[in-house]
Structure 1
Amino acid sequence: MPLETPARIVRALVSRGYNAEREAVTLIAGSEEPGVTLARVVDSVPDDTLRITTDHVRAVLASAPAADPPGTESPTDSVTTDPSVSAATPGDVDEHVSESTPPETEGVTNGRNTDRSLRSLEIANDMTGQSTGTGEYDDFVKVFRDRYEKLSKMLRGRVNHRPAKAISKMSGGEDAELIGLVDDVRSTKSGHWIIDLEDTTGTFPCLVMKDKDIASYVDELLLDECIAVQGTLSGDAGILFVDSMHFPDVPRGHRPNTADRHVQAALISDVHVGSQEFMEGAWNRFAEWLHTAEAENIEYLLIAGDMVEGVGVYPNQDEELDVIDIYDQYRAFSEHLKSVPGDLDIVMIPGNHDAVRLAEPQPGFDDNLRDIMSAHDATITSNPSMVTLEGVNILMYHGVSLDEVIAELPAEKASYDEPHKAMYQLLKKRHVAPQFGGHTRLAPEKLDYLVMEDVPDIFHTGHVHKLGWGKYHNVLAVNSGCWQSQTDFQKSVNIDPDSGYAPIVDLDTLDMTVRKFS
Structure 2
Amino acid sequence: MPLETPARIVKQLARRGYNAEREAVTLLADEPDSDAALERALETLPDDALKLTTDHVRESIETEGRDGDGSEIPDGDRSTRDGHRPVDENPPTSTGDDDGSPADAGSGSPPETKGSGEGVAAATPTATAAADGAAEPISRNTDPSKRSITVENDMTGQSTGTGEYGDFVKVFRDRYEKLSKQLRGRVNHRPTDALESMGGGSDAAIVGMVSDVRSTASGHWLVELEDTNGTFPCLIMKDRKWADQVQELLFDEVIAVEGTLADDAGILFVDSMHFPDVPRTFKPSTADRHVQAALISDVHVGSQEFMEDAWHRFADWLHTEEAARIEYLLIAGDMVEGVGVYPDQDEELDVVDIFDQYRAFSEYLKEVPGDIEIRMIPGNHDAVRLAEPQPAFDEELRDIMTAHDAQVHSNPAMVTVEGVTILMYHGVSLDEVIAELPDDKASYDEPHKAMYQLLKKRHVAPQYGGHTRLAPEDRDYLVIEDVPDVFHTGHVHKLGWGKYHNVLALNSGCWQSQTDFQKSVNIDPDSGYAPILDLDTLDMTVRKFS
- Provide TM-score, normalisation by structure 1: 0.89
Question: Structure 1 residue 367 and structure 2 residue 395: aligned?
Answer: yes
Distance change in 2, residues 1:382/1:66 (3 Å): same
Give the distance between the partners of 1:303 and 1:159, measured in 2 at CA.
Answer: 39
1:92 is aligned to 108
Give the distance between the partners of 1:31 and 1:235, measured in 2 at CA.
Answer: 89
Which stretches of structure 1, 4 residues or more, deviate above 3 A after TM superposition?
1-5, 10-14, 23-28, 30-47, 60-74, 79-82, 87-91, 93-99, 109-113
2:255 is aligned to 227
- Give ranges in structure 2 of 5+ residues lacking alignment: 81-85, 97-102, 111-126, 132-136
Give the distance between the partners of 2:328 and 2:483, measured in 1 at CA.
Answer: 21
Question: Structure 1 residue 476 and structure 2 residue 504: aligned?
Answer: yes
2:121 is aligned to none
1:293 is aligned to 321
2:483 is aligned to 455
Distance change in 2, residues 1:483/1:62 (3 Å): closer
Give the distance between the partners of 1:62 and 1:286, measured in 2 at CA.
Answer: 27
Give the distance between the partners of 1:186 and 1:242, measured in 2 at CA.
Answer: 15
- Give ranges in structure 1 of 5+ residues lacking alignment: 48-54, 100-108
Question: Structure 1 residue 282 and structure 2 residue 322: aligned?
Answer: no
Give the distance between the partners of 2:241 and 2:40, measured in 1 at CA.
Answer: 72
Q: Deviations over 1:429-452 (max 9, x none)?
A: 000000000000000001100000
Q: Name the aligned partner's letter for residue 92 of structure 1.
A: G
Give the distance between the partners of 2:2 and 2:223, measured in 1 at CA.
Answer: 73
Distance change in 2, residues 1:24/1:323 (3 Å): same
Give the distance between the partners of 2:419 and 2:530, measured in 1 at CA.
Answer: 22
After superposition, where does 1:18-29 map in structure 2 within 5 Å? 18=15, 26=22, 28-29=24-25
Give the deviation of 1:156 after TM superposition.
Answer: 1.1
Indicate if the aligned counterparts of 2:150 and 2:416 stay in contact, CA closer than 8 A: yes
Give the distance between the partners of 1:81 and 1:170, measured in 2 at CA.
Answer: 78
Distance change in 2, residues 1:96/1:423 (3 Å): closer
Q: Deviations over 1:366-399 (max 9, x none)?
A: 1111111102211110000000110000000000
Indicate if the aligned counterparts of 1:19 and 1:342 stay in contact, CA closer than 8 A: no
Question: Structure 1 residue 61 and structure 2 residue 53: aligned?
Answer: yes
Indicate if the aligned counterparts of 1:20 and 1:343 stay in contact, CA closer than 8 A: no
Give the distance between the partners of 2:524 and 2:57, measured in 1 at CA.
Answer: 55
Equivalent residue for 1:501, pick from 521, 529, 535: 529
Any idea what SS the aligned residue of 2:295 has? strand
Any idea what SS the aligned residue of 2:404 has? coil
Tell me the number of residue pairs that the alignment of Structure 1 and Structure 2 aligns: 495
Give the distance between the partners of 2:211 and 2:404, measured in 1 at CA.
Answer: 45
Q: Deviations over 1:178-204 (max 9, x none)?
A: 101101101111111111111111111
The worse-fitting range, judged by mean Cα deviation, of 365-374 and 432-441 is 365-374
Distance change in 2, residues 1:137/1:61 (3 Å): same
Give the distance between the partners of 1:212 and 1:20, measured in 2 at CA.
Answer: 67
Give the deviation of 1:360 after TM superposition.
Answer: 0.2
Indicate if the aligned counterparts of 2:292 and 2:533 stay in contact, CA closer than 8 A: yes
Q: Deviations over 1:287-310 (max 9, x none)?
A: 111111111111111100000000
Q: Deviations over 1:472-510 (max 9, x none)?
A: 000000000000000010011000000001111111111
Indicate if the aligned counterparts of 2:41 and 2:56 stay in contact, CA closer than 8 A: no
Distance change in 2, residues 1:319/1:206 (3 Å): same
Indicate if the aligned counterparts of 2:138 and 2:320 stay in contact, CA closer than 8 A: no
1:186 is aligned to 214
Indicate if the aligned counterparts of 2:293 and 2:532 stay in contact, CA closer than 8 A: yes
Distance change in 2, residues 1:31/1:62 (3 Å): closer
Indicate if the aligned counterparts of 1:19 and 1:338 stay in contact, CA closer than 8 A: no
Distance change in 2, residues 1:207/1:41 (3 Å): farther
Any idea what SS the aligned residue of 1:219 has? helix
Equivalent residue for 1:271, pick from 289, 299, 303: 299
Equivalent residue for 2:519, pick from 480, 488, 491: 491
Distance change in 2, residues 1:63/1:24 (3 Å): closer
After superposition, where does 1:208-247 map in structure 2 within 5 Å? 208-247=236-275
Give the distance between the partners of 2:438 and 2:21, measured in 1 at CA.
Answer: 50
After superposition, where does 1:43-82 map in structure 2 within 5 Å? 56-57=50-51, 60-61=52-53, 68=60, 78=80, 79-82=86-89
1:7 is aligned to 7
Distance change in 2, residues 1:208/1:44 (3 Å): farther
Give the distance between the partners of 1:287 and 1:66, measured in 2 at CA.
Answer: 28
Q: Deviations over 1:43-62 (max 9, x none)?
A: 87999xxxxxxx932xx539
Distance change in 2, residues 1:393/1:3 (3 Å): closer
Equivalent residue for 1:314, pick from 335, 342, 360: 342
Any idea what SS the aligned residue of 2:53 has? helix
Question: Structure 1 residue 336 and structure 2 residue 364: aligned?
Answer: yes
Give the deviation of 1:31 after TM superposition.
Answer: 6.1
Q: C-alpha root-mean-square deviation of aligned residues, in Å?
A: 3.0
Indicate if the aligned counterparts of 1:93 and 1:288 stay in contact, CA closer than 8 A: no
Give the distance between the partners of 2:347 and 2:459, measured in 1 at CA.
Answer: 36
2:119 is aligned to none
Any idea what SS the aligned residue of 2:452 has? helix
Give the distance between the partners of 1:260 and 1:195, measured in 2 at CA.
Answer: 47
2:116 is aligned to none
Equivalent residue for 2:233, pick from 183, 189, 205: 205
Distance change in 2, residues 1:294/1:430 (3 Å): same
Give the distance between the partners of 1:42 and 1:2, measured in 2 at CA.
Answer: 25
Q: Name the aligned partner's letter for residue 406 of structure 1.
A: I
1:144 is aligned to 172
Distance change in 2, residues 1:358/1:24 (3 Å): farther
Identity of aligned residues (%): 71
Give the deviation of 1:4 after TM superposition.
Answer: 8.9
Any idea what SS the aligned residue of 2:329 has? strand
Indicate if the aligned counterparts of 2:138 and 2:319 stay in contact, CA closer than 8 A: no
1:446 is aligned to 474
Indicate if the aligned counterparts of 1:270 and 1:306 stay in contact, CA closer than 8 A: yes
Q: Deviations over 1:140-172 (max 9, x none)?
A: 001001001110111111011111111122111
Q: Name the aligned partner's letter for residue 448 of structure 1.
A: D
Any idea what SS the aligned residue of 1:281 has? helix
Distance change in 2, residues 1:27/1:180 (3 Å): farther
Give the distance between the partners of 2:421 and 2:10, measured in 1 at CA.
Answer: 32
Indicate if the aligned counterparts of 1:266 and 1:302 stay in contact, CA closer than 8 A: yes
Indicate if the aligned counterparts of 2:286 and 2:419 stay in contact, CA closer than 8 A: yes
Distance change in 2, residues 1:97/1:249 (3 Å): closer
Any idea what SS the aligned residue of 1:513 has? strand
Give the distance between the partners of 2:38 and 2:362, measured in 1 at CA.
Answer: 25
Distance change in 2, residues 1:11/1:61 (3 Å): closer
Question: Structure 1 residue 259 and structure 2 residue 287: aligned?
Answer: yes
